[in-house]
Amino acid sequence: MTTSLLISYAVLFIHATTWEGQIWEDVGNWLDRKLPEWISKPLYGCPICMSFWYGGIILFLFGWQFNVMFVLTVFAAGGVSVINVIICKWYQRMIDEEEAK
């Protein structure tokens, strides 16, 4: 479970750095213009999509064997990412409401 949380938060970190006003905003905007959505989402644009790919790569690099626990850990990271997406949407709504004032 801890590994799933770490993967999910690492993915959220990568995703959040491309938001407006963040350090990789320009890179994210440039990539949005250059890459098709099916590449940009798992690369930096969608925490749920990213969890599967980044999670698999991270676990593989740390020597995990591909087995049931490997798959369950990656899926659990995706589930935690759903919660992160909800938090991101809530955060964006707060920003939009502040800008509307």
**Pairwise CA distance, residues 58 & 52, whole Å:** 10
List the one residue out of 70, 37, 42 whose CA is nearest residue 54. Answer: 42
- On whether the CB atoms of residues 58 and 10 are closer than 8 A, the answer is yes
- Per-residue pLDDT reduced to its tens digit, 18-27: 988 899 999 9
What's the whole-number mean pLDDT along residues 64-71? 88
- The answer, yes or no, to whether residue 28 has pLDDT greater than 90, is yes
pLDDT band per the 50, 70, 90 thresholds, residue 81: confident
- Encoding tokens for residue 6? 């770490």
